[in-house]
Amino acid sequence: MLTLPEIRDVRGAVDDAWRSPTADAVAAAWGLPPGSALFWRSSAAHVAVVPEGVDRRGVLYVRWVPEHAAGARRFAHGTLLHARLSADHADVAALVPSRSGRLLERLDTPVGPALAAVVRRVDGDDLDVDDLNDEVASTWGRALARFHADAARHTDVAQPAAAPPFTVLTASADAEVAAAARALAASQPGGSDGHDGYDGYDGFRATAARTVVGHGDLELDNLRWRGLRPTCFDLDEAGLRPAAADVASAVRDLLGPDPARPAHPALLDAFLDGYGRASGDVVTPHALLPHVAAIAAEQLVDLERVLARGPDPAGSGGAPDAPDEAWLVDLAAHLREHATGQRAVLLSAASALA
């Protein structure tokens, strides 16, 4: 995720009509006039939206990350993979070429150099867990298997996913998190218990699975549905990882805060059945646990990094006469709440694997 100062640099200059000088600088590379790309949100990337009726190309999402950001390399490789899959007519959103004909641009902006891409809106339905039944959940699982099959030929642009930072969390001031991290770290190759475990992007080999070019975040939020055919976007987390790890990243909403006792077991079984039938890989709910723990660990470490330079209670930059904007304080509170949820996931998974 972008740091809070990186978000403030952009969001702080957005006016009451959601116009952004930085979004204008990025959008200009796609031939869009100032004020046409309205700021929407910031998380792993900054996003602005070109509303319907503004441009003949339709509704567009303008996405960019600072070149120095921690996720810039992932953004670049995800965009390259996205471009390859789009050329193959896979089920991905359409990328829009810039005026120079490029799908990935490096640009100068008011807050420094950035990497940018533009995605066309996918028409279709936006589903959440309450909209699912067994058939739709199974179709979702088959869609992930189809993504793996389509992406398999593009390993040259896929980066290995990082090993989970369990060792970092062993130094946590939270005693329960530190203990869980020690137990999980010990399960890695060379760990004190001697069990086969996580080995970079090869993953917890004991849980099953071949290495795939995974989407990294094929949650419902990153899909649009036309009947029973979903189309995906947001490939920023794409990379080489175990199939079971990519399944785990997709079904976190089905697992819930206590992945050892899935919140939606029937839908999870349907997803896994659809994935298994389409891919030939058998992934069980128990096989997801070490990968869910790894995702939670990654998020906890990343959130600590992001929040380390959070809102200053004395004011922006420490100046008591320039307090941080309410939206920034609210965002930091939301991220701390998210960290609490990821802590629960980590402890649950570690306890079930003990």
Confidence of residue 196 (pLDDT cuts 50, 70, 90): very low
Mean pLDDT, residues 300-329 taken together: 70
**pLDDT, position 318:** 44
Q: Could you give the CA distance from residue 32 to residue 61 in angstroms, rounded to a whole number?
A: 12
* Domain topology for 4-120: Phosphorylase Kinase; domain 1 (3.30.200)
Neighbour tally for 12: CB within 10 Å: 15
Contact 246, 144 (CB under 8 A): yes
Q: Which two tokens stand for residue 151?
A: 């992406």
Query: Please, where are the H alpha helices in 120-241?
Result: 134-151, 166-169, 175-186
Mean pLDDT, residues 26-50 taken together: 97
Q: What is the pLDDT of residues 148-186, one digit of tens each?
A: 999 999 999 999 988 899 999 999 999 999 999 999 998
Which stretch of 19-23, 161-165, 168-172, 262-266 has the lowest confidence by average pLDDT? 161-165
**pLDDT, position 325:** 82
Q: Which two tokens stand for residue 291?
A: 């990968």
**pLDDT, position 323:** 55
Distances in whole angstroms, Cα of residue 65 to Cα of each of 46, 62, 306, 324, 335: 6, 11, 15, 22, 19
Boundaries of every domain in the chain: 4-120, 129-353
Q: Which two tokens stand for residue 121?
A: 């809106």
Helix (H) or strand (E) holding 335: helix 326-353
Which stretch of 13-22, 68-77, 194-203, 223-232 has the lowest confidence by average pLDDT? 194-203
DSSP string, 67-95: TTSTTHHHHHHHHHHHHHHHHTT-SBPPB
**pLDDT, position 248:** 97
**pLDDT, position 193:** 36
Q: What is the pLDDT of residues 319-353, one digit of tens each?
A: 444 456 888 999 999 999 999 999 999 999 999 99
**pLDDT, position 319:** 44
**pLDDT over 70 at 206, yes or no:** no
Q: Which CATH architecture is the domain 129-353 placed in? A: Alpha-Beta Complex (3.90)
Q: What is the pLDDT of residues 88-139, one digit of tens each?
A: 999 999 999 999 999 999 999 999 999 999 999 999 999 999 999 999 999 9
Confidence of residue 317 (pLDDT cuts 50, 70, 90): very low
Residues counted in the chain = 354
Mean pLDDT, residues 278-307 taken together: 95
Q: pLDDT > 70: what percent of the chain?
A: 90
Q: Could you give the CA distance from residue 88 to residue 68 in angstroms, rounded to a whole number?
A: 31
Q: Could you give the CA distance from residue 17 to residue 156 in angstroms, rounded to a whole number?
A: 42
**pLDDT over 50 at 199, yes or no:** no
Distances in whole angstroms, Cα of residue 254 to Cα of each of 232, 259, 336: 18, 9, 22
**pLDDT over 90 at 36, yes or no:** yes
Mean pLDDT of the chain: 91
Confidence of residue 54 (pLDDT cuts 50, 70, 90): very high
Contact 218, 250 (CB under 8 A): yes
Q: Is 208 left (phi over 0), alpha (psi -120 to 50) or beta?
A: left
Q: Which two tokens stand for residue 82?
A: 């996205």
Helix, strand or coil, per DSSP, at residue 224: strand
Q: Of 29, 24, 153, give the one whose Cα is nearest residue 96.
A: 29
**pLDDT over 90 at 312, yes or no:** no
Which stretch of 65-79, 218-232, 316-330, 335-349 has the lowest confidence by average pLDDT? 316-330
Which stretch of 77-81, 93-97, 185-189, 296-300 has the lowest confidence by average pLDDT? 185-189
